[in-house]
């Protein structure tokens, strides 16, 4: 009889695919639920970290993944603004002339992302080396489309009025920093 006791200490039932990063997904189209959105800094660079749950039926359904959207250049910020626009934000109006610069509006927008159901396409691109000593580079991209049809936890259009509402979770976070 085989002895399975070697597995006792670390035993935890879970599906074969438990998620992690967007690169762990098979290439294809997905519906995702945004569970959390935070502004972060890594190695002195700004980014938005999204915690996502895969809603699409199949191998990855229910998987929790994390995606980082790096905001390190004007082009990257423009692309992020376009994503927010597709999600229903009035990011076209985020200009200093409107007294709503991107730097002030996008942090307020992050809390409104939580609870949105969105579409995304995961793609993998392999870049062959240009020179003899170069290495093959593999890029995993999660390209966000629009919001899913139907209802989710947020309004379909989010403008200045919504962004300027007080965050109901802010008081709780200040009271308990470990929440």
Going by C-alpha positions, the residue among 3, 65, 8, 68 that lies closest to residue 35 is 65
Q: Where are the beta strands (DSSP E) in the chain?
A: 19-21, 28-42, 45-54, 64-70, 117-127, 137-147
Find the distance separating the first CA and the last CA of the chain, reported in whole Å. Answer: 47
Q: State the pLDDT confidence band at 17, using cuts at 50, 70 and 90.
A: very low
pLDDT at 16: 46
pLDDT at 14: 53
pLDDT digits (tens, 9 = 90+) for 76-126: 999 999 999 999 999 999 999 999 999 999 999 999 999 999 999 999 999
pLDDT digits (tens, 9 = 90+) for 41-50: 988 889 999 9
Query: Are the beta carbons of 160 and 112 closer than 8 angstroms?
Result: no
Alpha carbon distance 20, 52 (integer Å):
10
pLDDT digits (tens, 9 = 90+) for 139-164: 889 999 999 998 898 999 999 999 99
pLDDT digits (tens, 9 = 90+) for 22-55: 888 999 999 999 999 999 998 888 999 999 999 9
As given in the structure block, the two tokens for residue 96 are 């200093």
Task: Tell which wins on pLDDT, 95 or 9.
Answer: 95
Alpha carbon distance 54, 57 (integer Å):
8
């Amino acid at each position: 009889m085989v002895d399975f006791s070697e597995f006792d200490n670390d035993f935890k039932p879970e599906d074969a695919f438990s998620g992690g990063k967007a690169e762990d997904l098979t290439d294809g189209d997905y519906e995702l639920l945004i569970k959390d959105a935070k502004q972060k800094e890594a190695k002195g660079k700004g980014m938005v970290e999204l915690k996502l749950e895969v809603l699409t039926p199949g191998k990855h359904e229910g998987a929790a993944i994390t995606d980082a959207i790096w905001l390190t250049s004007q082009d990257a910020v423009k692309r992020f603004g376009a994503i927010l626009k597709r999600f229903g934000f009035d990011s076209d109006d985020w200009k200093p002339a409107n007294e709503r610069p991107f730097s002030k509006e996008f942090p307020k927008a992050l809390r409104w992302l939580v609870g949105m159901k969105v579409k995304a396409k995961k793609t993998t691109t392999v870049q062959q080396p240009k020179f003899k000593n170069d290495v093959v580079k593999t890029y995993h991209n999660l390209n966000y489309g629009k919001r899913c049809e139907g209802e989710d936890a947020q309004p379909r259009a989010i403008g200045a009025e919504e962004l300027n509402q007080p965050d109901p979770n802010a008081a709780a976070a200040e009271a308990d920093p470990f929440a």
